[in-house]
Amino acid sequence: MDIMEMGASLLSDKLGMDLDPSTVSSALSGLLSNADGQIDFAGIASKMASSGDLGAIVGSWLGDGENSPISADSLSSIFGSDKLAEFAGKLGTDAETAGSGLADVLPQLMDKSSSGGSLLDMAGGADGLLGAAKSLFS
């Protein structure tokens, strides 16, 4: 099972909605992908690392151990309320419900994607992630 299929399954279960897996995968892909259409967990991690308190949260997702929770409001600051509303519309629900579901699912997806440190390696390791965050303030 690829990461989008896993995300679609987790999100459908979390929302308690009988959604077509391809619809959920498409909605997730639209939210989590970069301009090239590739899932951009490294970009999301860098953005979170540059957002103060969210840096510790994303660090827990990328490292070993328990994942720290994130709020739907924090997700809105990461993705933007317009993109979250668009995501919710594709799922046929409201932004609050979609944000709540995504807040439960995103940590799991990023955690699975970073198994063995591969996501951290893509972002240049923990130092690279912090360096990227610091460069935003230079």
**φ, ψ for residue 129 (rounded to 5)?**
-65, -45
Of the listed ranges 1-15, 68-82, 113-127, the least confidently predicted one is: 113-127
pLDDT average, residue stretch 86-115:
91
pTM exceeds 0.75 for this model: yes
State the pLDDT confidence band at 94, using cuts at 50, 70 and 90.
Answer: very high
Of the listed ranges 71-85, 86-100, 110-124, the least confidently predicted one is: 110-124
For residue 6, what are the contacts with CB-CB under 8 A and spacing of at least 6?
108, 109, 112
Checking if the pLDDT of 134 tops 80, the result is no
Of the listed ranges 17-26, 83-92, 111-120, the least confidently predicted one is: 111-120
Fold assignment, 3-135: Arc Repressor Mutant, subunit A (1.10.10)
Checking if the pLDDT of 93 tops 90, the result is yes
More confident residue, 102 or 113: 102
- pLDDT at residue 119, rounded to an integer: 53
How many whole angstroms separate alpha carbon 18 and alpha carbon 64?
32
**φ, ψ for residue 44 (rounded to 5)?**
-65, -45
**Which residue bears the tokens 């970009």?**
43
How many whole angstroms separate alpha carbon 106 and alpha carbon 113?
10
